[in-house]
Amino acid sequence: MEAPSAGAQCPCGRQSGRCEGRHRVVIVGGGFGGLYAALSLRREPVHVTMIDQRNFHLFQPLLYQVATGGLSPANIAAPLRAILSRQDNACVLLAEATGIDAEKRQVILSDGAVSYDTLIVAAGASHHYFGNEHWQPLAPGLKTVEDATEIRRRILLAFEAAERTFDADKRRAWLTFVIVGAGPTGLELAGTLSEIAHDTLKRDFRHINPADAQILLLEGADRVLPPFPSDLSAAAAAALSRLGVTVRTGAMVTDVRLDAVTIRAGEATETISTHTVIWAAGVKASPLGQVLADARRPCAEARRPCAEARRPCAEARRPCAEATGAELDRTGRVLVEGDCSVPGHPDILVIGDLAHHAGADGKPLPAVAPVAMQQGRYVARLIRARLRGKSLPPFRYRDRGMMATIGRAAAVADIKGLRVTGYPAWLAWLFVHLMYLVQFENRQLVFLQWGWSYFTRNRAARLITGESPLPLDL
Amino acid sequence: MEAPSAGAQCPCGRQSGRCEGRHRVVIVGGGFGGLYAALSLRREPVHVTMIDQRNFHLFQPLLYQVATGGLSPANIAAPLRAILSRQDNACVLLAEATGIDAEKRQVILSDGAVSYDTLIVAAGASHHYFGNEHWQPLAPGLKTVEDATEIRRRILLAFEAAERTFDADKRRAWLTFVIVGAGPTGLELAGTLSEIAHDTLKRDFRHINPADAQILLLEGADRVLPPFPSDLSAAAAAALSRLGVTVRTGAMVTDVRLDAVTIRAGEATETISTHTVIWAAGVKASPLGQVLADARRPCAEARRPCAEARRPCAEARRPCAEATGAELDRTGRVLVEGDCSVPGHPDILVIGDLAHHAGADGKPLPAVAPVAMQQGRYVARLIRARLRGKSLPPFRYRDRGMMATIGRAAAVADIKGLRVTGYPAWLAWLFVHLMYLVQFENRQLVFLQWGWSYFTRNRAARLITGESPLPLDL
């Protein structure tokens, strides 16, 4: 990219005429928040630049299906360019946003910079190992496509290794699967693993019975699904138990090694032999949160339109005013105003998992897709209102309920206080995910594949790919 | 794996009773040859052990569809265990066969050994760079799932890089795709790349026109599809030209670098700027061919049944007879007898791409899936005949024709001398692939996905995954 460091790129590069005079909206992150913001701006007189490190939007709620061989990555991912291809006021930049220069109103890329008038930061979150980041290679989390195929690889290789080990203890260790964290993702993984062991692989091995697999779900709190009403937690725990999953609440992981995990429950300490640990315990906001914490107020010079931005702003080298960085919460999320903006920076909006947005009860809104989607739509409306010199009441989350699926035809849901369990909840879960997925071209195929694997109990995508898996380290 | 080096594992490990008294057939390689052999042995009183490094069978004729984002890996792969799950006389071993001890009748694994009475080696082939193996990372071939996703990554990233480069020469280099080798795979890749450039990505970019991509197909011989009749080669060349593919025959690659490829055509030398080179030029037989070339005749001691094999054969340390290794051809394939056995080793059968089997005209049979499948079925019949004290006439390949597809509704086929081109040939190609694919459970979905992308001209699986692709090296 030419002359990246000297000045900022106009979002649409050298293609003349596109951005001139238009309000430039730059969106960092093509997840639910960023994508819904971009789509909601399609009729507005703005120029939208979507920046993402990946060339696709990922439907994360179904990522566990990839990790367990039920779906292929492409089934739950849609190329960002394809989604936005017919939106003429939008362009996509495959790039990594490494910083934000709030003074110059620029997003710093690893190989350039892009100027904005309004910035939407929707960079999401990654795993949090609570200071034990060295556990990451031993206990991968589930955030990216690569995470999912790596977890799939480990699960399938564990069964293969068990098949080839004749030492009873070693075999038991290979057939022990530990999932840390009993939130929705942990439950989905545990439930699906149980299906794999009991149904999918039933006839596949000759020396082991896959149903002997022990699936352990660890949770630090005193019940599964801590944010849910306690009767739904109890229903979920009962469903897990029916599936043969062992739930251990009040259990903290104190060590993860290549062949074991150590937990502390109350006073007691226990070491469990296992080779497969999956981390579904905590998330940490994107490092762009910290970047915003260090941000400075924009200088007057930098407010000039597009053409001017190409020469370095004289003011930029010294602070124009007091540093007015954002405040972060414990997990690195940015505390935002009611309208999703960063205090002191009305032109920077933070949405989705990166935002700490106080709900009606004062508690932060949960880090779930519906919040991000609604915030994405809200900030689009906010930008439209501002362009017309108007303002908008603060963002209010319309909570349509919480749900978690546990396995075939088992789920729990809290829909506006109506608590549903079992098959009806599972149907509701399916319906909601179907509703959102069908917005993508070609997504119908997921449901065919899904329906197929539901009725046949087969999981077609159980491939061991990636790094050469051999020799097995038995 | 316990005590791997001391003695050999009984194929079915410690599960007693399964192999006792049964003739032990060990198959190395779960491709077309090995898989068809295993399936054809399902009713025989033998014990089959299928050894493969991968846990799935790959439908390689459609691998180019993965490399070009039309299908997901799981669409063209089926877990070996799933295929053989209901075949009680078969077990699957996920392991790497590193050697063959013909004297002791054992396959040596990276972590153990397996005894056989009859060995079927169907280990296939990999790329051949004709002594320029250092070109491999610069010009990947298309043999594995990882190859395919890597090629997909490179193709998609090239368009992304072009979008972000404003230097005309650099942009042209990013939009230049070079395919080395105009066999069926080269043609399929070239034709599909043209589709991607002209249809799939049509509206996806803002600064480049993907249709400006230059697709170059290089071939050392004097025409495309050298093994085909020359009028079909001409028809294929015409179809390629209609698709905008530039064909260069009589062109030898003399150098591959990160940003260019150098070719020699006659006396002239030319360097073409490009970042995307795909190798579809040559194959080299599996290293197990060399292992067989070094093989020795089995010693009498080793002929004892299963139980005996656990103690080391006294004879094994010194050669029982003259070394009687197999003879290899120029590409490392094993010259086999008419019954697929290695000369001097009637208990070792070599089939598929690893075998050099002289056809009726004295020329080796082509390295294509139908040959491997038919040989797989033949060796199964041969084993059955031998178990009954009978023999079988030599293997004879029933050539049902050759075909190559070029793009949407374009193909050439030579079906028993009947030469077909265009849409009828494409339908024939589709029909044949459909016929073979539907043998796998769940494969119907491929055709849905395929039909879908045929009619919508969309390619849903165009994900850039794997190693972090950023920053783009512009």
At residue A113, the pLDDT reads: 93
At residue B447, the pLDDT reads: 60
Residues of A in contact with B149 (CB under 8 A): 465
Tokens matching residue A459: 């999981």
Mean pLDDT for the stretch of residues A124-133: 89
At residue B467, the pLDDT reads: 61
The phi, psi pair for A157, rounded to 5°, reads -65, -30
Nearest CA-CA distance, residue A69 and chain B, Å: 9
- Kindly indicate the confidence band of residue A450, based on its pLDDT and cuts at 50, 70 and 90: low
Nearest CA-CA distance, residue B205 and chain A, Å: 7
At residue B4, the pLDDT reads: 34
Give the nearest chain B residue to A54 (CA atoms): B464
Q: Do B164 and A95 touch (CB under 8 A)?
A: yes
At residue B450, the pLDDT reads: 61
Percentage, residues of chain A above pLDDT 70: 82
At residue A20, the pLDDT reads: 64
| Chain segment A344-396, per-residue pLDDT in tens | 999 999 999 999 999 888 899 999 889 999 999 999 999 999 999 999 999 99
Q: Do A74 and B145 touch (CB under 8 A)?
A: no
Identity of the residue in A53, A79, A469 whose CB atom sits nearest the CB atom of B470: A53
At residue A414, the pLDDT reads: 85
**Whether A19 contacts A47, CB under 8 Å:** yes
Q: Do B111 and A472 touch (CB under 8 A)?
A: yes
Return the number of other C-beta atoms located less than 10 Å from residue B389's C-beta: 6
Residues of A in contact with B442 (CB under 8 A): 452, 456, 458, 460
At residue B319, the pLDDT reads: 42
Residues of A in contact with B92 (CB under 8 A): 204
Whether the pLDDT of residue A309 is over 50: the answer is: no
d(CA A178, CA A246): 10
At residue A110, the pLDDT reads: 87
At residue B383, the pLDDT reads: 97
Identity of the residue in B55, B156, B441 whose CB atom sits nearest the CB atom of A55: B156
Q: Do B445 and A462 touch (CB under 8 A)?
A: no
In chain B, how many H helices and how many E strands?
Answer: 11, 25
Which of A469, A474, A468 lies closest to A164, judged by CA? Answer: A474
Nearest CA-CA distance, residue A326 and chain B, Å: 28
Residues of A in contact with B204 (CB under 8 A): 79, 81-82, 85
Whether the pLDDT of residue A222 is over 50: the answer is: yes
- Kindly indicate the confidence band of residue A74, based on its pLDDT and cuts at 50, 70 and 90: confident
At residue A443, the pLDDT reads: 54
Chosen from B76, B86, B206 to mutate, greatest number of chain A CBs within 10 A: B206
Nearest CA-CA distance, residue B406 and chain A, Å: 24
At residue A157, the pLDDT reads: 94
Tokens matching residue A163: 């098949």
User: Mean pLDDT of all residues in chain A?
Assistant: 84
Nearest CA-CA distance, residue B62 and chain A, Å: 16
| Chain segment A394-417, per-residue pLDDT in tens | 999 998 888 888 877 688 888 877
Catalytic residue among B103, B188, B195, B219: B188
SS3 B127: strand
Mean pLDDT for the stretch of residues A59-77: 86
Would residue A158 be called left, alpha or beta, if left means φ above 0 and alpha means ψ between -120 and 50 degrees? alpha
d(CA B206, CA B437): 39
At residue B243, the pLDDT reads: 93
Q: Do B86 and A445 touch (CB under 8 A)?
A: no
| Chain segment A239-271, per-residue pLDDT in tens | 999 999 999 999 999 999 999 999 999 899 999
Angle at the Cα of A96 from the Cα atoms of A95 and A99, rounded to 5 degrees: 130
> β-strand A23-28 against A341-342: which pairing, if any?
unpaired
The torsion defined by the Cα of A228, A230, A235 and A237, in degrees rounded to 10, comes to: 90
Percentage, residues of chain A above pLDDT 90: 58
* Higher pLDDT pick, A330 / A71: A330
At residue B303, the pLDDT reads: 43
Q: Do A460 and B18 touch (CB under 8 A)?
A: no
At residue A73, the pLDDT reads: 87
| pLDDT mean for each 10 residues of chain B (474 residues) | 38 49 94 95 95 92 88 84 90 94 93 94 91 92 92 94 92 97 94 91 92 96 91 93 95 95 94 96 91 73 40 41 76 95 95 94 90 96 96 92 80 84 81 66 57 61 66 52
Q: Do B206 and A12 touch (CB under 8 A)?
A: yes
At residue B304, the pLDDT reads: 40
Q: Do A166 and B13 touch (CB under 8 A)?
A: yes
Give the nearest chain A residue to B52 (CA atoms): A470
Q: Do B448 and A452 touch (CB under 8 A)?
A: no
| Chain segment B209-240, per-residue pLDDT in tens | 999 999 999 999 999 998 888 999 999 999 99
Give the nearest chain A residue to B88 (CA atoms): A206
- Kindly indicate the confidence band of residue A431, based on its pLDDT and cuts at 50, 70 and 90: confident
Identity of the residue in B74, B465, B471 whose CB atom sits nearest the CB atom of A110: B471
